A and B are shown apart, each in its own frame.
Chain A
């Protein structure tokens, strides 16, 4: 394994689109070649070297390449987007689209991230130690094909529209979330360990949701069908089991209608 270190040297005037900051783009390149990789600032094509000092070595392949960013990337978008292997560690915050469309490898952000992290993710692991803004693991605007695989873990809280149109994979929010969880989802699992304001599972066709805190406003399209014991991400608890969204179409399997499941931790 080889490690490339990026040190931010200049705050972009507009947001910098760091879509080249991936193990795939770095693999097999020298620091000078990496500094020469493109990125947009507005409509102008800039170079990574305009905003970062590049040191260290890349591996021969993406899988052999670790990227460490030492500093703040609050104005850098698309870090790790579309990566297939290797790792990216950010010792700071990042802007939008962190790990969007990623297929493999691991991203670890030690600060907070803006919106659209893990959008339409297909595989790999994305961990954020701080908070995430909106649209964690959701579909691209307008698209009906959301996150398909992989795991997103937000150790802080998240905003609205989590797992919209989700088809597979797992999203874990360790603290609270705001509104719109798994809207339109047809698969996958969302676990919220804190409280949610509401609109959980609206128009959801299939898939699972776990809420370990409280839901302030339940969707009217969910019906309680029982109580179950479950272990979720290391927590064992009793859950009220709801199915829904009853206002949405649902597929049939072996003659049985398949609903989405909401497991809400039962009051002690």
Chain B
């Protein structure tokens, strides 16, 4: 490779950031960045007859941290039939062994994202107290760049400040916490509900009272949006709503989305939304019980479509055996009561909680099939694909390794009908959903919006990831699909997205013909907010550690530098 020069030649380029849709063009790279042109000695990758996109960006996935690891320990059986734990690859190429299906090992996580042509993944829920562990796992995950969102929605400091209406103090606390945990932004999981779980309670409604803290979920959501915009963070407040997974929850979902009305995004990263509502599939349910359970994807998307300052991700059910894990502690207890499978529950001091339960999304179960339809319908009803992102809330609704299958379903009515036709309760599923009547098939351009340009902009990273414009990081995925002659066999779409023909990560070829050829040079991305010290917040934090509210000392709390040895720090300046 001459001076780190590379050129991907003659592919059909799909790059929504520049409105390029299938134009045959070359993508030149030098020293890890995309450039206008390179010298004739650049290494050439022939992409003729193939599709070229930027590296994928995953806005929400649980890939590192204490609950992911607890899930691995809790489920040895997840490794038994995972297929590639003894793949020839480990021996052939000298790379690390891979194991696990729904909760893959860190090595498998990095390799699988790489094989799918993904550049960046956001770990969606980091308990601040256990940030060191989260960063250790992130560092051990090869190839992909990662960041992590600390959870704030049940944090005692946040609830106390917001109860008194102190947005500025909330913001100062968030700024401090992002710095010490090397976090990226504000995650909110079942606001107030997880705190209530410490009393054995939950907050299913936006206006429920959080015991002891005398605040409501709606107030927490609104306060954290305001704090986020006060700071001007690259990402918006990222919300896992209350009342997840229950029949009839769609009304509460829309009410929570309405909290964003009238609030404008303030930041210098090109982000337009003030609320990202995650895994919306779990929040778009009608009915009153599991018997009359049905899809309200249309109703929810009708609202999302007209409300421009919201982004969403799908959380598609992939009909697999998987492992649910969330900071929504009361939900996991509820789920354990439904399926009687093993359950882990953890409380994280002043901050959050977590639960883990294995779950089998059985294609022969009417409820699971309706969930499958809801996830896809959200995308098929969406008007702005730059605000609608593909996820499976990995591993909650299915493993991230099924993104190619989700893409197949979204791009092919034939594929959807084939799956629908395999259901035992097909007729009941058709009756309870809209999927059978939807003819829409998404284009490669729309898929690129949902997996590249959209999530990158939503995360405030549009100058780095998600596009192929000169100056951006050299993240290029080549897929074995002919733009001009898309296969009539949808299975070929899935196969192409599962194993990229070539993937270039930060200017280095890491995947060739679907196989990993390099561990890459992954980065940990975090946000460093610079603002004047807030004496009250400093005093409150110090007291929490010295008066024994926390079980550890303040000096041991921050994530040490060695745990994120390859940082990519995004500075945010907040004026006094």
Is the CB of A43 closer than 8 A to any CB of chain B?
yes
**Is the Cβ of A43 less than 8 Å from the Cβ of B342?**
no
Contact A143 B77 (CB under 8 A): yes
In the assembled complex, A249 has its CB within 8 A of some CB on chain B: yes
A residues in contact with B80, CB < 8 Å: 140, 143
Task: Tell me, yes or no, whether B556 is within 8 Å of chain A by CB.
Answer: no
Interface bracket on B: 10 to 19
Q: What string of 1s and 0s marks CB contacts (under 8 Å) between B327-340 and chain A? A: 00000000000001
Q: Is the CB of A249 within 8 A of B77?
A: no
How many angstroms between the C-alpha atoms of A140 and B74 in the bound complex? 13
Chain B proximity of A204: nearest CB distance (Å):
14
Q: Is the CB of B340 within 8 A of A141?
A: no
A153 beta carbon closer than 8 Å to chain B: no
Q: Is B308 positioned at the interface, with any CB of A under 8 Å from its CB? A: no
Which B residue sits closest to A45, measured CB to CB?
B91
Minimum Cβ distance to chain B for residue A183 (Å): 13
Chain A residue at smallest Cβ distance from B73 = A142
User: How many Å lie between the Cα of A40 and that of B97 in the bound state?
Assistant: 15
A138 to B86, CA, bound (A): 24
Known: A40-B86, A43-B91. A142 touches B75 (CB 8 A): yes
Query: What 1/0 mask marks residues of chain A from 148 to 190 whose CB sits below 8 Å from any chain B CB?
Result: 0000000000000000000000000000000000000000000
User: Are A141 and B76 also in contact (CB < 8 A) when A40-B86, A43-B91 are?
Assistant: yes
Are B340 and A140 neighbours in the complex by a CB distance under 8 Å? no
- Of the candidates A43, A45, A140, the one whose C-beta lies within 8 Å of that of B76 is A140
B77: which A residues are within 8 A, CB to CB?
A: 140-143
Give the shortest distance, in Å, between A89 (CB) and chain B (any CB). Answer: 28
B76 touches A144 (CB 8 A): no
Q: How far is the CB of B105 from chain A (nearest CB, A)?
A: 15
Tell me the number of A-to-B contacts counted with CB atoms below 8 Å. 20
Assess the A144–B341 pair: CB atoms within 8 A: yes
Please report the C-alpha to C-alpha distance between residue A144 and residue B80 in the assembled complex, in whole angstroms. 13
State the Cβ distance, A55 to closest chain B Cβ, in Å: 30
The minimal Cβ–Cβ distance linking B362 to chain A, given in whole angstroms, is 13
With a CB–CB cut-off of 8 A, which chain B residues contact A249? 340
Taking the closest CB of chain A, its distance from the CB of B340, in whole angstroms, is 7
- Tell me the smallest distance from the CB of B97 to a CB of chain A, in Å: 8
In contact, A144 and B342 (Cβ under 8 angstroms) = yes
Best-surrounded residue of B77, B340, B358 (most CB of chain A within 10 A) = B77
Bound complex: CA of A239 vs CA of B438, how far in Å? Answer: 63
Contact partners of A43 in chain B: CB under 8 A: 91
Complex: chain B residue closest to A43, CB-CB: B91
**Bound-state Cα–Cα, A43 to B342, Å:** 32
Complex-state Cα separation, A140 to B358, whole angstroms: 15
Q: Which residue of A lies closest to B88 (CB)?
A: A45
**A residues 127-142 with Cβ under 8 Å of B?**
140-142
Chain A residues bordering chain B, tally (CB within 8 A): 9
A-contact bits for B304-343, CB 8 A (1 contact / 0 none): 0000000000000000000000000000000000001110
Q: Which residues of A contact B75 (CB under 8 A)?
A: 142
**Distance of A87 from chain B, by nearest CB (Å):** 26
Taking CB atoms, residues of chain B closer than 8 Å to A143 are 77, 80
Residues on B with beta carbons closer than 8 Å to the beta carbon of A144:
341-342, 358
- Least distance between B189 CB and chain A CB atoms (Å): 26
B340–A142 CB distance below 8 A: no
| Minimum C-beta distance from B493 to chain A (A) | 32
In the assembled complex, the Cα of A142 lies from the Cα of B101 at a distance in Å of 14
In the complex, chain B residues whose CB is within 8 Å of the CB of A140: 76-77, 80
Shortest distance in angstroms between B553's beta carbon and chain A's nearest beta carbon? 36
A142 partner residues in chain B, CB cutoff 8 A: 74-78, 342
Residue of A nearest to B358 (CB): A144
Chain A residue numbers with a CB within 8 Å of B342 are: 142, 144
Name the A residues within 8 Å of B340 (CB-CB).
249
Of A40, A43, A141, A142, the most chain B CB neighbours within 10 A belong to A142
Please give the distance in Å from B323's CB to the nearest CB on chain A. 11
Contacts of A40 in B (CB 8 A): 86
Q: Mark A99-111, 1 if CB is under 8 A from B, else 0.
A: 0000000000000
CA distance A140 to B77 in the complex (A): 7
Closest Cβ of chain A: how far from B187's Cβ, in Å?
29
Against B, the Cβ 8 Å flags (1 = close, 0 = not) of A247-266 are 00100000000000000000
Mark each residue of chain A from 32 to 43: 1 if its CB lies under 8 Å from any CB of chain B, else 0: 000000001001
| Nearest chain A CB to B337 CB, angstrom units | 10
B143-185 CB mask vs A (1 if < 8 Å, else 0) is: 0000000000000000000000000000000000000000000
Task: Tell me, in angstroms, the Cα distance from A141 to B72 when the chains sit together.
Answer: 12
Q: Cα distance A43–B89 when bound, in Å?
A: 12
Within 8 A of A (CB), among B71-118: 74-78, 80, 86, 91
B86 CB contacts on chain A under 8 angstroms: 40
- Taking A142-B76, A142-B78 as known contacts, 4 extra A-B pairs with beta carbons closer than 8 A to each other, sorted by chain A number, are A140-B76, A142-B74, A142-B75, A144-B358
A residues lining the B interface (CB < 8 Å): 40, 43, 45, 140-144, 249
List, sorted by A's number, 19 A–B pairs whose CB atoms are closer than 8 Å.
Answer: A40-B86, A43-B91, A45-B91, A140-B77, A140-B80, A141-B76, A141-B77, A142-B74, A142-B75, A142-B76, A142-B77, A142-B78, A142-B342, A143-B77, A143-B80, A144-B341, A144-B342, A144-B358, A249-B340
Instruction: Tell me the B residues contacting A by CB distance below 8 Å.
Output: 74-78, 80, 86, 91, 340-342, 358
Of all A-B residue pairs in the complex, the 9 with the closest CB atoms, nearest first, are A143-B77, A142-B76, A142-B77, A141-B76, A140-B77, A142-B75, A140-B80, A144-B341, A141-B77
